[in-house]
A and B are shown apart, each in its own frame.
Chain A
Amino acid sequence: MSAIAISDKNITLAALQSIAKGSTASSIHLDVISVATYSDFVSVVERAVHFALRKLSLNPELRQEHSEDQLTIEVVNMLSTFDLDAAHEAKVGGHCDISINGPYDFLWLGEAKKHVQAYAWLLQGFQQLDARYSTGLAGQDTGGLIVYSNYPRIDKTMASWRQHLLDHHPNISCEEVCEQTASFLSAHVHQGTGRNLSVRHFACSLYFRPTDQDKKKKDKSK
């Protein structure tokens, strides 16, 4: 564990960043301490969500039969280990899957859906986030939609979902498509406030079909 000897002149922001270097948790803790704007808060939340989803993807074989709620509770528990004020199904206009409170009344809301072939289910989650849960107020106008998928090629799933969203939601834009995470950002006018509501669409691959087992079965059958 990196540490800086105690001398005030040394404990600059650069020194703190070097302490946090290499550790997502420490990096998030440092950013939590320094949050000044809503953009800072959203950045911390999104990094933490990406980290949690990567952790889920590490052992997909254990999560094939998990329900949406089971997966989301795991995500919320991981977000809490970063000491974010995260909750599952807190009452916000209804029971939003993930709510994260920040300083200065900042709020981030997330819906989570397990992809089951038809994209209408994902669209329902998006609409819940948009029309039922999001306030659209300043400091509360960014959220997330998490897509869990047991199917292969989540990159194609997210591309198809993006197109479905563009086809079925008036005046929405989709941008910041990330090749590494298959995530993207949508933006549209919130009907309640007239402000822009941004939603980060996160991908979580839980695909598990090991081919070595297929080979073993074939060998046994000979």
Chain B
Amino acid sequence: MSRVVSDSAAQNLCFAIIDFLAQESEANLESLSFLRLSKIAGKQAADAELLRALAILVGTRVRALESHFYFIDEDEAEYQVDKTAVSEARRSGVFIHPHKGDPVENFEDHLVMYFSPTQRVLDLKRGSE
């Protein structure tokens, strides 16, 4: 990790999350919210430092986490959403409700990001058990 990032604050956040991934059971790693990752990293708030740590962990050099999205509509119903659909919506400015088929106003207020370990991390965990 020190070869990948020299900033010690970012290193510490990354190490905290990696330690958690190594120690926790697979079942508890399926859906890691910002809330959980913030607490694991010892942060009181989601901030730019946490964004940086997650960019490192998702990025090509480390590849420890993958990001995903789900959509929460006005009725609080939750729907898994493909990242390419989110990418297209951010590009076009239009997001279609996955169930109702209508455009969603201010869709970015209804999209929530979460994370899971990559297959690489899961294979390493299984190999070490």
Contacts and interface: CB of A to CB of B under 8 A. Distances in A.
A13 to B, nearest CB: 4
A1 B47 CA distance: 7
B110 A12 contact: yes
Given A11-B113, A14-B108, A29-B55, A23 B67 contact: no
Nearest to A30: B51
Contacts of B18: none
B96 interface: no
B12 interface: no
Interface residues of A, number: 39
A14 B112 CA distance: 9
B106 to A, nearest CB: 7
Contacts, number: 119
A41 B51 CA distance: 17
A101 interface: yes
Interface in B81-129: 82-84, 86-87, 91, 106, 108-113
A6 B48 contact: no
A115 to B, nearest CB: 32
Contact of A16 (B4, B39, B46): B46
A122 B73 CA distance: 52
A33 B82 CA distance: 14
Given A11-B46, A25-B52, A34-B86, A85 B35 contact: no
A116 interface: no
A6 to B, nearest CB: 5
Contact of B39 (A6, A20, A35): A6
A36 interface: yes
B109 A14 contact: yes
Contact of B47 (A4, A8, A35, A37): A4
Most buried by B among A8, A9, A13: A13
Contact of A6 (B44, B51, B55, B86): B44
Contacts of B4: 83
17 contacts: A1-B47, A6-B45, A9-B112, A11-B112, A13-B108, A13-B109, A14-B111, A19-B46, A19-B47, A26-B52, A33-B51, A33-B55, A34-B83, A34-B87, A39-B91, A83-B4, A83-B52
> 10 tightest A-B contacts by CB?
A36-B83, A3-B45, A29-B55, A3-B47, A14-B108, A11-B34, A85-B60, A36-B87, A13-B111, A32-B55
Interface of A: 1-9, 11-17, 19-20, 23, 25-26, 28-30, 32-37, 39-40, 82-85, 101-103
Given A16-B46, A29-B55, A33-B51, 15 more contacts: A3-B45, A3-B46, A6-B39, A11-B35, A14-B111, A16-B51, A19-B46, A30-B51, A32-B58, A34-B86, A34-B113, A36-B84, A36-B87, A37-B87, A82-B55
